[in-house]
Amino acid sequence: MNNRKVPQKSIAVYGASVALMLVLSYIESILPLDIMIPGAKLGLPNIVTIFLLYIKGASGALIASAIRIVLSGFMLGNMFSILYSASGFALSFLCMLAAKKSGYFGVTGVSLIGGIMHNMGQLVCASLITGRYVLSYLPFLILAGCIAGVVIGLLGAEMIKRIGRFML
């Protein structure tokens, strides 16, 4: 068994982050976004994912996001919503990590890549489940991912700037 101690402050940060992600998931589920793209969302919980990625690192962001996907899926959705969220998250997280490590992108650029790749991951999952016709949404989902990614990136960067130093 690993005897490594996890600082109490880190446990509190991760717990508060998951709670905030769940609140943002709920808020997003009740927002009336009628933009003619089925299932398109702004991705408000990803503000916290971006924040954790930059403040606590990849493992913390990964674990907190995975917990949020499962809990919000059971609370607000179903098994398909967990599957779609997990597939979108897996692709977006890997691409965000690569973009961040490259050093060529700032917070907003990393988030933009994440927004696009999240939609791509969900679209691939949906096409495997429902058929290839869903690929016709591709241009709309790329546009939605760009817009959401920039908005989430700007909000995440502001959060990092304002409270990031208190979370270290």
User: Residue 96, Cβ neighbours under 10 Å: how many?
Assistant: 28
What does the pLDDT look like over 61-105, one tens digit per residue? 999 999 999 999 999 988 888 999 999 999 999 999 999 999 999
Contacting residues for 92 by C-beta, under 8 A, at least 6 apart: 113, 114, 115, 116, 117, 118, 121
User: With contact defined as beta carbons under 8 Å apart, do 92 and 126 qualify?
Assistant: no
So what's the pLDDT on residue 1? 47
pTM of the predicted structure, to 2 decimals: 0.90
- Domains of the chain and CATH, by start: 8-166 (1.10.1760.20)
